Structure 1
Amino acid sequence: MSTRQVRHLAASGELRLLARGVVDETSVDRLLAVRGGSHRRAWSEETAWGAVALLSGIEANWMGESQRSRLKGRLRALSAEQLLERSRDRAEVHRYASHASTAARLRSDVVDLARAATTLGLAESSAVDGYVSADVLESLVARHGLIGDDTGQHTLRATAMDLAVVERLAESTVLAALDLAESLDVRERRVGLDALEAALARFHG
């Protein structure tokens, strides 16, 4: 990877610089977990959400018929790792630390995927990992006193997609599987990838 590419990734927030010429190791690990060794451009946000919908058995009615048809063809040719890499722009991921008492209140303000994660066999967690509207992220962070921290326990995924759609998709395990597959935790990542492979197999028919 060239220096120019690293600068671009830092400017886009995909890599975090600790100082001039010094890249945060955790941000590199997270980038590799999502992209692997691929430099392929991610799908647009609406296409990424369309993929989640189609794999969840829900019609992606925000896309045109021809767009959906092309996307169905692409999905039939993808592995779980490729799906993970192409759909990464469905939301911007932000991580925060907070007071221990914040979790319950914060959970009520996000589209929480905890139930779907437990359906996939993971234990319940006190950490919050959920989706929020991009236009309310800043006010949400301020209201709950969240502190930006790449190793923090809470993850907010900011998206421009209608949260009513996200809430419906959260009832399936596909969205939770994508989130888990991005994890640096080996077991969570394996659970997520296995669930994605199963969803793709069902889609292939």
Structure 2
Amino acid sequence: MTAEELVARTRNRAHVHLLQGHRAAVDRIAAEIVTTGSGEAVGDLATQTRATADGYVTSDVFDDLVSRYNLTEGTGTTSNVTLRVTSFDPETIRQIAAAGEVLAGLDLADSLDTRERAAGLQVLTAALGADR
């Protein structure tokens, strides 16, 4: 399987919401979600300079975070919170995220940003090659 095939097969694992929240809330939000490291240095992609939170939540947690932190819809350039709503068990996601960069690679490979997508595919290609 290639990295591109893996991305295609896992594309529906979550519904991605780009949101805008107050800068002071970003760290608190990050502490309440399952982060994958896709907002950090992964592969050859350097850490972003602005404070962001990016991770997985269930739908009930999503609704709570949006309400509690007054999150509004953002765009790629204005969003500082990315919540990936999934029906998967959060503990399972946490274990997958802790096992390495594969989940972060999948998140990056789904990006519309060319550099992020390339970095994600590079991480996935390396992980798939290690299993052979």
Rounded to whole Å, the distance in 1 between the matches of 2:40 and 2:118 is: 13
- 1:138 maps to what in 2? 63
Rounded to whole Å, the distance in 1 between the matches of 2:28 and 2:47 is: 17
Consecutive unaligned residues of structure 1, counting only runs of 5 or more, are 1-77
Q: Of 98, 104, 109, which aligns to 1:176?
A: 104
Give me the TM-score of the superposition, normalised by structure 2: 0.86
Give me the TM-score of the superposition, normalised by structure 1: 0.57
Give the aligned residue type for 2:3.
A
In terms of fraction of residues, the more helix-rich structure is 1
SS of 2:23's equivalent in the other structure is coil
1:128 paired with 2:56, answer no
- 2:119 maps to what in 1? 191
Contact 1:117 1:176 in 2 (8 A): no
Rounded to whole Å, the distance in 2 between the matches of 1:109 and 1:128 is: 10
Larger of the two Rg values belongs to structure: 1
Rounded to whole Å, the distance in 2 between the matches of 1:170 and 1:116 is: 13
- 1:80 maps to what in 2? 3
Contact 2:56 2:83 in 1 (8 A): yes
Contact 1:116 1:170 in 2 (8 A): no
RMSD (Å) for aligned C-alpha atoms:
1.8
Consecutive unaligned residues of structure 2, counting only runs of 5 or more, are none
* Sequence identity percentage: 39
Rounded to whole Å, the distance in 2 between the matches of 1:121 and 1:198 is: 12
Q: Tell which has more relative contact order, 1 or 2 (C-alpha 8 A, sep 6+).
A: 2
